[in-house]
Amino acid sequence: MAKQNKESRCSFCHSGKHETLMLIEGMDAFICDKCVTQANQLLAQELGTKGSKNIQEAINLLKPLEIKNHLDQYVIGQDDAKKVLSVAVYNHYKRLNQKVDADEIEIEKSNIMLVGETGTGKTLLAKTIAKILHVPFCICDATVLTEAGYVGEDVESILTRLLQAADYDVAAAERGIVYIDEVDKVARKSDNPSITRDVSGEGVQQALLKILEGTVVNVPPQGGRKHPDQKMIPVNTNNILFICGGAFDGIERKIANRLKTQAVGYKVKKDETVLDLKNLYKYIMPQDLKSFGLIPELIGRIPVLSHLNPLDKETLRNILTAPKNSLIKQYVKLFAYEGVELIFDNDVLDFVVDKAMEYKLGARGLRSICEAIMLDAMFDTPTQTDVKQLHINLDYAVEKFEKADFKKLQAA
């Protein structure tokens, strides 16, 4: 701070140096601490108003059908899950814009649980919907979470990631959306009581309860463990929407047992007894989650339950070519950077789909198989300047695939 003379006065309120705590000098001008504080309040108010306008604009522009249409460009199938997500996000926007009066009905948030096999698109749906949101969005993994005081990350680290996505704007983070992946990995390990604590299972579920329902959480700004001398950031989770996803491997047996039990002793029509045994996920109920190992208190705080259908051959074939960022389009783009036109035969795509179904890896298997087929071509093409076109036929694909020795994966 430069030295001021006796005649120095604030250029805004004309207060003298003796009337203020601090007088900051600029180029031929001064500003006092009172005017700085007032300017800061005006700026915060203006930014808050603009944030409310952005929310209102989002409500007007993004109807549930429009959100689903955006998801359709990147994710093939899974219409039920898309509708659930679209409605949840739209209602979240409306809830953020609600002005609650004393006698007005307050809209409660509806946290979501997505259940589906690996590779069916749970995380892809979350990532895709993040592209169109006007609120902070983060994806975190439940497998690293442990009960407070044990090795691993505390549950509060979820909110640390949300704060980072909001550039540490607490007001913005408090209207954000969080996707918790692999939530099935925190299921209770056993129904039998034990002398040891289930610190990465039921302990995590207990810690999640208040955060999902809504409370003020003291969050360490840089993540990690809490300690007494650390400065905390209070975050209110009342307006944060939580979306949980998990494969819940083996829950089909719980569903099958429940359906069989319900049918005993009742006379039902034949058409009502026909079940889709290839897709038992469509019959999932909250009691199945309880049987799998989620505690009832957690299930009650995630009221919306949806499923993702297993991927059949037709869906996998469309995933290869139809989405806006499909695998085939990505490879064509990669080779276009080298000035090479890449062409795939249709029977090559059918071969990739057949192998993906054989190894039961879902959509992720498509990428692994394509990488095995294209590895040599991607290695040699950048140094072959005379190549202008690359044609991938079935014989070439089979040869490169067998060279990769994927049978080891099948044996595993």
Distance CA 267, CA 270 (A): 9
Alpha-carbon dihedral of residues 135, 136, 137, 138, nearest 10 degrees?
-170
Q: Contact at 8 Å (CB) between 284 and 252?
A: no
Distance CA 320, CA 326 (A): 6
Distance CA 402, CA 369 (A): 11
H/E segment holding residue 307: strand 304-307
Q: Which residues are annotated as a binding site?
A: 10, 13, 32, 35
Can you say how many angstroms the Cα of residue 154 is from the centroid of all Cα atoms in its chain? 19
Cα atoms in the Cβ-side hemisphere of radius 13 Å centred on 203 = 18
Distance CA 177, CA 240 (A): 6
Whole-number Cα distances in Å, 295 to 114, 367, 404: 17, 36, 44
What residue type is assigned to position 22 of the chain?
A: M
Q: Could you list the pLDDT tens digit for every one of the 412 residues in the chain?
A: 444 455 688 888 888 888 888 888 887 888 888 888 888 777 766 665 555 555 555 545 678 999 999 999 988 889 999 999 999 888 888 887 776 665 677 788 889 999 988 888 888 898 888 888 778 889 998 888 887 667 778 888 899 999 998 888 888 888 888 999 999 988 886 655 554 566 777 888 888 998 998 889 888 877 656 666 667 889 999 989 999 999 898 898 888 888 875 444 444 444 456 777 778 888 899 999 999 989 999 999 999 999 999 888 899 999 999 888 899 999 999 999 999 999 999 999 999 999 988 887 788 889 989 999 999 999 998 888 888 999 999 999 999 998 876 655 554 4
Q: Which residues are annotated as a binding site for Zn(2+)?
A: 10, 13, 32, 35
DSSP code for 286: H
CA 240, 246, 250: angle at the middle one, nearest 5?
Answer: 150
Residue of 392, 342, 386 lying closest to 372 (CA atoms)? 392
Distance CA 326, CA 322 (A): 6
CATH 3.40.50.300 residue ranges of the chain are 62-99+107-307
Q: How many other C-beta atoms are found inside a 10 Å radius of the C-beta of residue 375?
A: 13
Yes or no: is domain 313-411 CATH 1.10.8.60? yes
What residue type is assigned to position 141 of the chain?
A: D
Superfamily classification of domain 62-99+107-307 = P-loop containing nucleotide triphosphate hydrolases (3.40.50.300)
Strand runs labelled E in 59-213: 112-115, 137-141, 177-181
**Judging by DSSP bridges, how do beta strands 341-344 and 304-307 pair with one another?**
unpaired
The neighbouring-strand residues paired with 242 are 178
CATH 1.10.8.60 residue ranges of the chain are 313-411
Distance CA 270, CA 227 (A): 63
Distance CA 279, CA 277 (A): 5
